[in-house]
């Protein structure tokens, strides 16, 4: 799976119920296992409602082939075949159509899957994305070499080429979405593109409004609607949503309890490198403006079971202010209430709780605070 777009999936694998005296409809998986010994086992998994893997079947290689037969599903669902313990999987969408899969033990690039409109689109997307990535990597390396050789003219020309590829990639994504948005993969990609800011809220709303009956109320679509609603509620000029959460000490702290004359609501995580890089700027601002009336409450998107990492990062980065977290990663309820889909992200509110600025970083944060709280 690529990047992070499967982290918002809520799927159910549903089998059809056979009517009495009527054989169930089935689809077939046929595989070519190049270079694999007889008896090699591949494992078929589906994802449950909590995005957890459920074992469905074991596919055993015989004479370089493997196969399985499965009942039709009433809903689109995501499955995968685990090829080995090194993270090599063949991902596919159940479309109630026969699939042909080819894997090569010695050359992962040979992996192929044929069967179904959405599966075809998915693998076309992966291949095109890989081409864009390779082209950008080659140009970045060439720009680095040109800069090392102090060839400014060449570096500028290469930068133009790099920008042109970025434009091509954006256009490809938009065209792909226009063709494939009304599908499970389309919804997954829509969620990813919104999170990566490749699409703005209005564009996402348009896609959701155009969904057909099968996907209009899919959990991913409903999640996106909730996220868009949260963003709409937390614009500059709006009253910040009230919240409370567990502190590192195990007590409960509310936003009201943490507020000062001005309050920075800071979304971050110990695992987030850009967040950790920005923390020294936030610390400097806090040390300079706390006595003038600035408070900070940081909301961490750390994971369940990783409280120690959260508290260690607070200590290491000298974040001597208020902290809360439910340790639910991207499902952090406070982050979802604020429509947070990337971090670091901040909201600056006044004493009445009204949002007066967003996403101030570095020198911009300090300059805005100096404007609001000038030295006496």
DSSP state of 241: P
Question: Taking a C-beta distance cutoff of 8 angstroms, is the pair 296, 264 a contact?
Answer: yes
Share of the chain above pLDDT 90, in %: 73
Report residues of the chain scoring pLDDT below 70: 1-24, 49-50
What pLDDT, on the 0 to 100 scale, is given for residue 209? Answer: 93
Task: Compute CA distances 213 → 19, 187, 221, 228, 284, whole Å.
Answer: 25, 13, 12, 20, 52
User: Hey, what domains does the chain have and what are their CATH numbers?
Assistant: 26-114 (2.60.40.180), 120-233 (no CATH), 244-372 (3.40.30.10)
- C-alpha 42/C-alpha 57 separation (Å) is 9
Cα 338 from chain centre: 16
What pLDDT, on the 0 to 100 scale, is given for residue 235? Answer: 86
Where do the DSSP E strands lie in the chain?
A: 26-34, 41-47, 53-60, 65-71, 77-82, 89-94, 99-104, 112-114, 244-246, 252-254, 262-268, 294-300, 322-324, 345-350, 355-358
- C-alpha 236/C-alpha 249 separation (Å) is 32
Q: What is the pLDDT of residues 91-134, one digit of tens each?
A: 999 899 999 999 999 998 888 899 999 999 999 999 999 999 99
Question: Taking a C-beta distance cutoff of 8 angstroms, is the pair 291, 259 a contact?
Answer: no
Question: Taking a C-beta distance cutoff of 8 angstroms, is the pair 359, 278 a contact?
Answer: no
What pLDDT, on the 0 to 100 scale, is given for residue 342? Answer: 87
What pLDDT, on the 0 to 100 scale, is given for residue 341? Answer: 83
Q: What is the pLDDT of residues 19-47, one digit of tens each?
A: 344 556 899 999 999 999 999 999 999 88
Task: Compute CA distances 66 → 72, 109, 309, whole Å.
Answer: 20, 19, 44
What pLDDT, on the 0 to 100 scale, is given for residue 375? Answer: 85
- C-alpha 224/C-alpha 291 separation (Å) is 40
Task: Compute CA distances 157 → 113, 139, 148, 153, whole Å.
Answer: 39, 10, 15, 6
Q: List, in sequence order, every residue forming a beta bridge with 32; answer none if it has no partner.
A: 65, 102
What pLDDT, on the 0 to 100 scale, is given for residue 109? Answer: 81
- C-alpha 248/C-alpha 66 separation (Å) is 52
DSSP 95-115: -SS-EEEEEETT-GGG-EEE-
Let me know if 347 is exposed, middle or buried by CB neighbors in 10 A (0-12, 13-18, 19+): buried
- Whether the full predicted model's pTM is greater than 0.85, yes or no, is no
What pLDDT, on the 0 to 100 scale, is given for residue 88? Answer: 87
What pLDDT, on the 0 to 100 scale, is given for residue 23? Answer: 58
3-state SS string over 332-347?
Answer: CHHHHHCCCCCCCEEE
What pLDDT, on the 0 to 100 scale, is given for residue 15? Answer: 33
The DSSP H or E segment spanning 192 is: helix 184-195
């Amino acid at each position: 799976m690529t990047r992070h777009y499967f982290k918002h999936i809520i799927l159910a694998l549903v089998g059809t119920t056979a009517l009495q005296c009527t054989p169930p409809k089935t689809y077939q998986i046929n595989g070519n296992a190049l270079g694999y010994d007889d008896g090699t086992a591949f494992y078929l998994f589906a994802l449950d409602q909590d995005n957890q893997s459920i074992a469905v079947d074991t596919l055993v290689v015989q004479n370089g082939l493997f196969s399985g037969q499965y009942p039709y599903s009433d809903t689109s669902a995501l499955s995968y075949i685990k090829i080995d313990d090194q993270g090599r999987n063949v991902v596919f969408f159940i479309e109630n159509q026969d699939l042909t899969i080819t894997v090569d033990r010695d050359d992962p690039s040979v992996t192929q899957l044929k069967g179904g409109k959405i599966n075809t689109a998915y693998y076309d997307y992966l291949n095109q994305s890989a081409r864009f990535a390779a082209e950008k990597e080659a140009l970045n390396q060439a720009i680095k070499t040109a800069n090392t050789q102090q060839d400014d003219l060449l570096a500028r020309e290469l930068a133009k080429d790099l920008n042109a590829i970025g434009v091509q990639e954006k256009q490809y994504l938009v065209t792909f979405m226009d063709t494939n948005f009304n599908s499970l993969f389309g919804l997954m990609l829509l969620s990813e593109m919104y999170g990566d800011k490749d699409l703005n809220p209005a564009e996402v709303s348009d896609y959701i409004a155009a969904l057909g009956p099968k996907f209009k109320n899919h959990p991913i679509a409903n999640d996106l609607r909730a996220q868009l609603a949260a963003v709409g509620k937390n614009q500059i000029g709006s009253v910040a949503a009230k919240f409370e959460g567990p502190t590192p000490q195990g007590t409960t702290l509310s936003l009201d309890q943490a507020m000062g004359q001005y309050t920075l609501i800071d979304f971050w995580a110990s695992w987030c490198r850009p967040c950790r890089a920005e923390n020294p700027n936030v610390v400097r601002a806090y040390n300079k403006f706390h006595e003038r009336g600035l408070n900070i409450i940081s909301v961490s998107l750390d994971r369940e079971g990783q409280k120690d990492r959260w508290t260690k990062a607070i200590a290491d980065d000298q974040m001597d202010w208020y902290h809360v977290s439910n340790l639910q990663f991207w499902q952090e309820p406070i982050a979802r209430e604020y429509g947070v889909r990337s971090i670091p992200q901040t909201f600056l509110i006044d004493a009445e709780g009204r949002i007066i600025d967003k996403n101030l970083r570095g020198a911009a944060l300090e300059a805005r605070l100096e404007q609001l709280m000038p030295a006496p």
